[in-house]
Amino acid sequence: MPVIGVLTLEMRFEESHSLKDKRHFVRGVKDRLRKSFNVAVAEIDGQDLWQRSTVAAVTISPSRERAAGVLEAAEQAAAALLGRNLVSSEIDWLD
């Protein structure tokens, strides 16, 4: 049975002064995660806030270990890309 893993990233952009600024940062994170890790990515909260955003990356895999590897690597890449803008991250499983 396939396993679905969800990586949730909560971000805060202090230097953002408009929704356009924030969307620029969020789009960069989403594009990088999609391209590098072949995950589905969407902004799931904070769409109308100009300094906060929550993004989810999802992967489906035949094994939990493989999915965990992908999501942990994506989490590390996001942390390196976002630096202090990453407030929290969490990996959840849908079995």
For the chain of 95 residues, list the mean pLDDT of each consecutive stretch of 10: 96 93 95 98 95 97 97 98 97 92
pLDDT, residue 74, reads 98
| Burial (CB count within 10 angstroms: exposed 0-12, middle 13-18, buried 19+), residue 39 | buried
The pTM (predicted TM-score) of the whole model is 0.94
Beta strands in 1-95 (DSSP E): 3-12, 40-45, 52-61, 86-94
Q: How many domains does the chain have?
A: 1
pLDDT, residue 95, reads 74
pLDDT, residue 65, reads 97
pLDDT, residue 1, reads 86
One-letter identity of residue 37:
F
Name the residue range of residue 74's domain: 3-94
Q: Residue 52's domain is classified under what CATH number?
A: 3.30.70.1120
